[in-house]
Amino acid sequence: MNDKRKKAEMQKEEEMRFLKEQQMAGKDIRRRGPGGQMLKEKPKNLKGTLRRLLSYIGKSKYLLMGLFAASLCVTVIGLASPVLQKEAIDSMYYEVSEGVHIFNGERMVSMLVFMGILFLVNAVFNFFLSTGAAKLSQRTVYSLRKDLFNNMVNLPVKFTDTHQHGDLMSRMTNDVDNVSNTISQSMTSLFSGIVSIVGTFGIMFYYSWQMTLIAFVTIPATIVVSMLMGKLMRKYFVRQQKVLGQLNGHIEEMVTGYSTVAAYSHEDVSVNEFENLSDELKRTGIKANIFGSVMGPIMNCIGNAGFLLVAVAGGYFAVREIITIGAILMFIQYSKNITRPINEIANLYTSFLTAIAGAERVFEIMDSKKENEEPAKDIDVASVRGDIDFDDIGFAYKEGEPVLKGFDLHVKQGQKIAIVGRTGSGKTTVVNLLTRFYDIDTGKIRLDEEDIAEISKNSLRSSIAIVLQDTVLFTDTIANNIRYGKLDATDEEIRAAAHTANADVFIERLPEGYDTVLTASGGNLSAGQRQLISIARAVLADPKILILDEATSSVDTRTEMQIQQAMLNLMHNRTSLVIAHRLSTIRDADKIIVLSDGHIVESGSHDELLAQGRVYYDLYMTQFSGVQT
């Protein structure tokens, strides 16, 4: 019963993982059939991935050896059990003369005592197998996940930008768990299954080759039926999981976007879509469960036919005194047990291939090029002046689709440069290249006359603070979110930074103040408050170069005016690049450059560009039509 309960719990956990993956990645990477059986997903490089995976499992080699030894003992005891029962039955009587048999109670009792001791030893080995498999599984998953995470945090930004975030999370969670649970447990199960099949065949053949052949008559039928039914079940269970993912995705969208649904009065539309998906799930689920339910009875019918053949043949051979009564019972048990390891091995093979495929996905991330693999030198951040030169920069996110073409920009220490342009003109790309989130295709970028390609990314980025349009906060206290800009900052420095960013006013009104824990990326704060905390983090970092990517876009007009004054103080004597959509925020910039189609088409002060009446003038008048300039 414990094994059944465990299996049910594991199946439920795997189904929950599947649903999470459907919601995060938007696709059914893992598919399961009846009883939690993993549907086959073939790896690309079986030998190479298996060899690499065994190196992780092999880190606990002594535990693994112990598990194999315990598995062998449990299998041997299981194989010996029917033989011992046969001997116990056959030894109950012994012949003293022709036709006269005497009950041998002493020998029967001794056999039963021996069997009891053997079963007790078997229980001890089974306990070791359960605990040892759990330890091996957790050690493997710990080591694999640790290496994976260490590699993920060192991946370039380009990698995370070009891969689905849900898919990356799935590799960290679902794939690693699946690899650990399947491989660490299947190895001993596969070993014991093979030993059980070979041992059963050998023992049966030893006692009677005729009975062995009769017992094996139904095995081909078992295999053929299992394969045919497996194909049918796979078809409908895959469809069921796909529709289930769509249904859960619809429910998630309905819950998270309910205000939008209600605002447009689309409740009936949402209900109709839900009912259509639900009806499809019902139809597919009925078919899937019908095929899943008939599998057991069909296999039982074949098995019972085999038992009947063994019993009839055994009775015939017993009458002719070829075998004993105990041998008949032994062959019935063996013929019943022989199908179990065969089915287990078939299922293990499927889950084994899926686990290897999952391991390949994990190793793909591990093998991706890391940022710290490039030779580079550190610089003294404190001595950075802040002179920046973009010389003839060419860059494309996709080959053949250039974003910047021959881009030239020279920024002197302490200058405030505003970058404007229509959507897609390349404004944010300039920042991505300066911080080396992406590397340029042609040209050079210099910091204080030194090529940034030769500077380590850590020291380069330590010289720069960024306030992005999309605020990123962590599930932690407000103080620690601000401290992210300088990990060794004191509480006084954090409060001073918050004061400069005008964030201290609302923070101190909160019940827990700076110790308020942010939830769901700051979901318990308004968008403007989250941006103020992000700005305070940049203030605390005290950078040589400051990048503002429309930092005030999420705040109201009054707060924007407060932030503007704070930004003026922060940008004093610092090189600043400001990406602006609200052109009213950059009137005091030392220089405004206008990007269009990857080129700088205009540059100058606010008044100069308005006087020219070209691109900047058009952008400005679009925002402030009818406003006196």
DSSP letters, 336-400, are HHTHHHHHHHHHHHHHHHHHHHHHHHHHHHHTSPPGGGS--B---GGG----EEEEEEEEEEETT
Same domain, 245 and 192: yes
Confirm whether 578 is domain-assigned.
yes
Do 528 and 490 meet the contact criterion of CB atoms below 8 Å apart? no
Which pLDDT belongs to residue 2?
43
Tell me: do 219 and 131 sit in the same domain. Answer: yes
Choosing from 371, 402, 427, the residue where a domain stops is 371
Residue 456 in any domain: the answer is no
pLDDT digits (tens, 9 = 90+) for 229-286: 777 777 777 677 678 777 877 887 788 778 788 887 888 888 898 899 899 888 888 8
Q: Are residues 367 and 422 in the same domain?
A: no
- 3 state SS of 407: strand
Same domain flag for 363 and 498: no
3-state secondary structure 423-453: CCCCHHHHHHHHCCCCCCCEEEEEECCEEHH
What value does the CA radius of gyration of the chain take, rounded to a whole number of Å?
36
DSSP codes of every residue in 449-489: TEEGGGB-HHHHHHTEEEE-SS----SSBHHHHHHTT-TT-
- Residue 269 CB neighbours (<10 A): 11
Question: Does residue 484 sit within a domain?
Answer: yes
DSSP H/E element including 316: helix 267-319
CA angle 506, 526, 477 (to 5 degrees): 65
Extract the residue ranges of the chain whose pLDDT is less than 70.
1-44, 91-105, 164, 166, 183-185, 238, 241, 346-347, 350, 371-376, 520, 551-560, 562-563, 565-566, 569, 584-585, 624-629
Closest CA to 436 of 161, 163, 155, 157: 157
Judge if 356 and 488 occupy the same domain.
no
Distance, in Å, from the CA atom of 29 to the CA atom of 170, rounded to the nearest integer, reads 9
Give pLDDT, residue 15.
Answer: 44
Assign residue 618 the CATH number of its domain. 3.40.50.300
The CATH number that applies at residue 240 is 1.20.1560.10
- Same domain for 616 and 467, yes or no, is yes
Q: Is residue 392 part of a domain?
A: no
Residue-level pLDDT at 350: 66
HSE-CB of 267 using CA atoms within 13 angstroms: 4
Residue 348, judged by CB atoms within 10 A of its CB (0-12, 13-18, 19+), counts as: buried
Tell whether 357 and 467 lie within a shared domain: no
* pLDDT confidence of residue 369: 75
Nearest Cα to Cα of residue 480 among 497, 464, 466, 468: 497
Q: Is residue 403 part of a domain?
A: no
Q: Which residues pair with 596 in a beta bridge?
A: 599
23 vs 244, 251, 330, 412, CA distance in Å? 11, 10, 52, 48
Give the DSSP H or E segment for 564. Answer: helix 557-571
In a domain, 11, yes or no: yes
The count of C-alpha atoms lying within 13 angstroms of the C-alpha of 253, restricted to the half-sphere facing its C-beta, is: 16
Is 47 part of a structural domain of the chain?
A: yes
State how far the alpha carbon of 247 is from the alpha carbons of 13, 235, 292, in Å: 19, 19, 22
Are 193 and 348 in contact, with CB atoms under 8 Å apart?
yes
Residue 356 is part of which domain span? 2-371
Q: Are residues 334 and 422 in the same domain?
A: no
DSSP state of 545: E
The amino acid at residue 296 is G
Domain count, the chain: 2
The verdict on 355 and 424 lying in the same domain is: no
What gap in Å lies between CA 270 and CA 210, rounded to an integer?
A: 66
| Judgement on whether residues 33 and 170 belong to the same structural domain of the protein | yes
- Domain co-membership, 363 together with 435: no
Euclidean distance between CA atoms 465 and 485, whole angstroms = 8
Q: Is 27 helix (H, G, I), strand (E, B) or coil?
A: coil
- Please report whether residue 262 resides in a domain: yes
Using an 8 Å Cβ cutoff, are 89 and 326 in contact? yes
- Cβ atoms of 111 and 91 within 8 Å: the answer is yes
Query: Which pLDDT score, from 0 to 100, does residue 390 have?
Result: 92
Exposed, middle or buried, 537 (CB in 10 Å: 0-12/13-18/19+)? buried
- 48 and 193 share a domain? yes
563, 501 in Cβ contact below 8 A?
A: yes
Domain boundary among 371, 393, 424: 371
- 468/579 Cα distance (integer angstroms): 10
